[in-house]
Amino acid sequence: MSKVFRVTPKRIKRVNGTILTPEMSIVVTTRQHTDNPFYNGASEIKEQYMRQYNFDYKKACCSANDFNYEKLD
């Protein structure tokens, strides 16, 4: 059973030529039942940011500490 989360950056982050802003909020569905969308190296979050904003999560050196998240289901 999957879960749905809204993931929102806490602040503006400029690293390695990338920019992450609080307006870059995403809705992500995890593949497993979990309480944390960052449980598996944030693979679903990385994919969604690349798809929606062409933002490279790995290149920007992001971590779970850079984001707030809330359950939607």
Q: What pLDDT is stored for residue 5 in this prediction? A: 95
The per-residue pLDDT for range 10-26, each reduced to its tens digit, is 999 999 999 999 999 99
Going 19 to 24 to 25 to 31, the CA torsion angle's sign is: negative
Predicted confidence at residue 34, as pLDDT, reads 85
Tell me the pLDDT tens digit for each residue of 13-66.
999 999 999 999 999 998 888 889 999 889 999 999 999 999 999 999 999 999
pLDDT attached to residue 2: 74
Instruction: Please tell me what DSSP assigns to residue 56.
Output: -
Q: List all residues 6 or more positions away from 41 whose beta carbon is below 8 Å from its beta carbon.
A: none
